[in-house]
Amino acid sequence: MAKSPARKTRAKKPYKVASSPIHGKGLFAATDIEDGQVLGVCKTRPATESGLHTLTLDDGSLFDVTCSLKYINHGRPSNVSYYDDFSVVALRDIAKGEELLHDYGEEWD
């Protein structure tokens, strides 16, 4: 009997998109998230100008986030951070149901 091809299983994302009291849509913890946990890596495309879901790297290059991680709203204190490799990492333990927030800088206050 021939072996069946391995099925690719998807890990359940630890977050979900929902209505946000901060701004339109937001990203919320679907499960408890641990400090240091990598929530995912952003799917991006290069951008020529800054938009609503654009990340600016330290070198000034711009990238539009094209996946659901783009719904992380600005907030202080932040509980997640984007990194230059486009990963999103929890900065502390985050309880299920809590909105995921990143500090986008003073221009967002």
Domain that holds residue 55: 15-108
Report the CATH number at residue 24.
2.170.270.10
For residue 47, tell me if it sits in a domain. Answer: yes
For residue 109, pLDDT beyond 70: no
For residue 10, tell me if it sits in a domain. Answer: no
101: DSSP letter:
E
pLDDT digits (tens, 9 = 90+) for 4-33: 344 444 568 999 999 999 989 999 999 999
Q: What is the pLDDT of residue 7?
A: 45
Domain count, the chain: 1
57: helix, strand or coil: coil
pLDDT digits (tens, 9 = 90+) for 78-104: 999 988 899 999 999 999 999 999 997
pLDDT digits (tens, 9 = 90+) for 25-56: 999 999 999 999 999 999 999 999 988 899 88
Q: What is the pLDDT of residue 107?
A: 61
Give dist(CA 91, CA 81) in Å, integer: 7
Q: What is the pLDDT of residue 19?
A: 97
pTM of the model as a whole: 0.83
